[in-house]
Amino acid sequence: MKAAVFEQFQGPLEIRTVPDPIPQSDAAIIAVRACGICRSDWHGWMGHDSDVHLPHVPGHELAGEIVAVGDNVRNWKPDQRVTVPFCCGCGSCEQCQQGQQQICDCYTQPGFTQWGAFAEFVEIRHADVNLVQLPEQMEFTTAASLGCRFATAFRAVVVQGRAAGGEWMAVHGCGGAGLSAVMIGKALGLRVIAVDIRHDRLDLATKCGAEQTLDGQCVQVADAIQEMTGGGVQISIDALGSRETCRNSILSLRKRGRHIQVGLLLGNESDPAVPMSAVIGRELELLGSHGMQAHQYHRMLQMIAAGLLTPDQLISDRVSLQKGARLLTELAEFPGRGVSVIDSFS
C-alpha cells in the first residue's frame, strides 16, 4: 500500500510503498477513503507525543470500508462503511467496562500508538468496540471530519459542558474543533461567542452560528466577554490549546461556570499557569474532553441526518495524500480556514 512515512521528528513525509496490514484476531482492516489533517497529527510529527515511535505514519481522523476482519470479530464484515473514534478502547479495562472508552487504560490510537490513516489501509484493534457504521448517504470526507475534532467538540459541549439552551458559551480558537463547537452550540440553543485572530475564521464562525465574534489581538478577551455577557459565560472552551487561550477561557467564565479544555497543551504551551484564585472564588469547574466513545455517536449522527448539524460546511480543502503530507508539516502556521481532508490515495 501507499503511505506517508516520516523517519525522524520534524523531518520530511515521504510517500512510500509499504506492506499491507494483516488483521490481528480482534481487528479490522479499513480501506481508507478519507482522512482528516489535524493539528494533533502535527504534534505527533513534532515529537510532542510519547506514543509515537519512528518510523511512523500519521492520521487518526478516518473513514472507509472494511476489507478484512480477524477471526474473533463478531459484529463486522467486509464492505461495511465505517468510521472510528480517534481513541480506541480495549473493551475490558475498568474505564471501558464503565462505558468510558475515550479514556481507556489500554487505548490504541491510529496515527499515534500505531501507524495511522495517511495510507491506503489502516488496522483498527478491538473492532467490535470501536467501529461506527456510517449512514449510507454520508460522504466519506464528511465522516472523516467527525473522528477527532467534531466528535471531541460534541462531547465537550453536550456532556462535559452540560449545555442548556439560552446559556452563553465562548469558543477560543476557530480551527476545526472550535468551529465544530460553535456549530454544535448554536444547534443546542446556546449563545455563542467566537474568538480568534483571523477574520476569515471569524467570518466562518458567524456562518456556523456565532452570535458575537472577537478579534483576540484587538481586545482583552476575558474582560470583553465579561462585559458582553453581563458577568461571563456559563461554558468556555479552549479549542486551540495555548497558555493564553486556556487562561482567557477560564477568566471568561461567570460564577460556577465550566471551562472545557479541548486543544492540546503540548511543547512550549504545556503546563499553563492556572488562575486558581478565580477558580476558587467563582467556584469554577475545569474539565477535559478527550474524544467520544463509539457507542455515543448515535446522537451526533442523528442531528446530522436531521440537518441540525452540517459538518461538511467546515471542510475547506480536499487534497491528495501527497499534498496532505505537505500540509501536515505546515500546521504550525494554521493554513486554511476550516478542515482539510485527504480523499485521494493513488
Tell me which fold the domain 2-147+292-344 belongs to: Quinone Oxidoreductase; Chain A, domain 1 (3.90.180)
**Where do the domains of the chain lie?**
2-147+292-344, 150-288
Per-residue pLDDT in tens (0 to 9) along the chain, 346 residues: 999 999 999 999 999 999 999 999 999 999 999 999 998 899 999 999 999 999 999 999 999 999 999 999 999 999 999 999 999 999 999 999 999 999 999 999 999 999 999 999 999 999 999 999 999 999 999 999 898 889 999 999 999 999 999 999 999 999 989 999 999 999 999 999 999 999 999 999 999 999 999 999 999 999 999 999 999 999 999 999 999 999 999 999 999 999 999 998 888 888 899 999 999 999 999 999 999 999 999 999 999 999 999 999 999 889 999 999 999 999 887 766 678 999 999 7
pLDDT value of position 339: 87
pLDDT value of position 270: 87
pLDDT value of position 316: 86
CA dihedral 47, 52, 57, 60 (to 10 degrees): -100
pLDDT value of position 29: 98
Cβ–Cβ under 8 Å, residues 42 and 328: yes
Q: State the amino acid at position 322 in one-letter form.
A: Q
| Nearby residues of 201 by Cβ (< 8 Å), 6 or more positions away | 174, 175, 179, 337
Task: Name the strand (E) or helix (H) holding 204.
Answer: helix 199-208
pLDDT value of position 148: 86
pLDDT value of position 336: 67
CA dihedral 57, 59, 64, 66 (to 10 degrees): 50
| Cα separation, 334 vs 325, whole angstroms | 15
If you classify domain 150-288 with CATH, what class do you get? alpha beta
| HSE of 144, CA atoms in CB hemisphere, 13 A | 29
pLDDT value of position 4: 98
| Nearby residues of 304 by Cβ (< 8 Å), 6 or more positions away | 135, 138, 142, 310, 311
pLDDT value of position 267: 83
| Nearby residues of 94 by Cβ (< 8 Å), 6 or more positions away | 105
